[in-house]
Chains A and B, each alone.
Chain A
Amino acid sequence: MFSFVFSSQIQHHMKKMFLIFLLTSISFVSNANDSIKVNITNQVVANADNAGLILPSGFGALIAADNLGRARHIVATKQGGIYVKLERLVGGKGIIYLTDANKDGKMEVETSFGNYIGTGIAIKDNYLYASSNEDVFRYQLNENGKVTNPDNPQRIVKGLWDKRQHASKSIVLDNAGNIYVNIGAPSNSCQEVDRTKGSKGMYPCPILDSAGGIWQFKVDQTDQGYHNGVRYATGLRNVVGLDWNQQQNKLYVTMHGRDMLYTLYPNLFDTTVSAELPSETMYEINKGDDAGWPYVYYDHFQKKKVLSPEYGGDGKKAGGEKAIDPIVAFPAHMAPNALLFYTGDQFPAKYKNGAFVAFHGSWNRSPLPQEGYYVVFIPFENGKPSGQWEVFANGFSGTEVVKNPRDAKHRPCGLTEGPDGSLYVSDDVKGTIYRIVYNAK
Chain B
Amino acid sequence: MKYFYFLGLIVVLSSAFVSSPVTNQSQPIIKASMDRGKIIYLQRCMACHQVDGSGGPRLNPPLDGASTVKGNDKLKLVRIIIKGMTERVEIDGEYYDNNMSANPDLTDTQIADVLNYIRNSWGNKASIVTIAEVKAARTKIK
Chain B residue nearest to A405 (CB atoms) is: B56
Asked if A164 meets B97 with Cβ closer than 8 Å, knowing A263-B44, A366-B46, the reply is: yes
Asked if A193 meets B44 with Cβ closer than 8 Å, knowing A166-B97, A405-B57, A406-B57, the reply is: no
Chain B residue nearest to A408 (CB atoms) is: B57
Q: Is B8 an interface residue (CB 8 A)?
A: no
A274 to B47, CA, bound (A): 9
Residue among A199, A260, A406 making CB contact with B47, cutoff 8 Å: A260
A165 to B43, CA, bound (A): 22
A266 to B62, CA, bound (A): 23
Q: Mark B91-130, 1 if CB is under 8 A from A, else 0.
A: 0000001111111010000000000000000000000000
| Residues 354-370 (chain A) with a chain B CB within 8 angstroms | 363-364, 366-367
Residue among B50, B86, B99, B100 making CB contact with A363, cutoff 8 Å: B50
Which residues of B lie under 8 Å from residue A403 when comparing CB positions?
51-52
Residue among B44, B51, B59, B97 making CB contact with A404, cutoff 8 Å: B51
Inter-chain residue pair count (beta carbon < 8 A):
77
**A residues contacting the other copy or chain, number (CB 8 A):** 30
Most chain-B CB neighbours within 10 Å: which of A187, A363, A364? A363
Q: Mark B35-66, 1 if CB is under 8 A from A, else 0.
A: 00000001110111011101111111010000
**B residues contacting the other copy or chain, number (CB 8 A):** 28
Asked if A196 meets B57 with Cβ closer than 8 Å, knowing A363-B50, A404-B51, the reply is: no
Asked if A259 and B84 make an inter-chain contact with CB atoms under 8 angstroms apart, the answer reads no
| Residues 74-124 (chain A) with a chain B CB within 8 angstroms | 87
Most chain-B CB neighbours within 10 Å: which of A193, A262, A407? A193
A327 to B60, CA, bound (A): 30
Asked if A195 and B105 make an inter-chain contact with CB atoms under 8 angstroms apart, the answer reads no
A-B contact pairs, 11 of them (CB 8 A): A87-B58, A165-B97, A194-B84, A197-B44, A259-B47, A263-B43, A364-B47, A367-B42, A403-B52, A405-B57, A406-B54
A binding-site residues for B, Cβ under 8 Å: 87, 164-167, 187-188, 193-199, 259-260, 262-263, 266, 274, 363-364, 366-367, 403-407, 429
Pairs of residues from A and B, 10 with the lowest C-beta to C-beta distance, nearest first: A363-B56, A406-B54, A194-B99, A404-B54, A404-B50, A263-B47, A195-B101, A196-B101, A196-B102, A405-B56
